[in-house]
């Protein structure tokens, strides 16, 4: 599954930080590159506070969606926008 469309929407907007658990999506010269790099390949528990503070969440159905969905449904987080993508359907 590709989230390129979502990444391209926010990559140049310095008011947002794109955090991808698997890789840094920023070019090394980008303002957010060093910040995003600090969040690559962390233990999953380290992402929970980030998720709780996120304004916009786009995630593929994975262990992350298993954290996000119950938090949203129970009202413990209320991002302005959130989407869980089915990895079998693509975008």
30-89 pLDDT per residue, tens: 999 999 999 999 999 999 999 999 999 999 999 999 999 999 999 999 999 999 999 887
Specify the pTM: 0.86
Are 72 and 79 contacting, i.e. CB atoms less than 8 angstroms apart?
yes
Which spans in 12-91 are helix H?
33-37, 48-53, 63-73
Q: 58 forms bridges with which residues in the sheet?
A: 83
Are 32 and 17 contacting, i.e. CB atoms less than 8 angstroms apart?
yes
Q: pLDDT band at residue 90, thresholds of 50, 70 and 90?
A: low
């Amino acid at each position: 599954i590709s989230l390129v469309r979502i990444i391209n929407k926010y990559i140049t907007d310095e008011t947002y930080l794109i955090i991808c658990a698997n890789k840094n999506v920023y070019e090394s010269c980008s303002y957010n590159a060093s910040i995003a790099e600090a969040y690559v390949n962390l233990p999953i528990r380290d992402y929970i506070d980030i998720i709780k503070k996120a304004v916009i969440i786009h995630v593929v159905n994975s262990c992350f969606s298993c954290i996000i969905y119950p938090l949203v449904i129970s009202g413990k987080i209320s991002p302005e926008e959130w989407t869980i993508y089915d990895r079998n359907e693509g975008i």
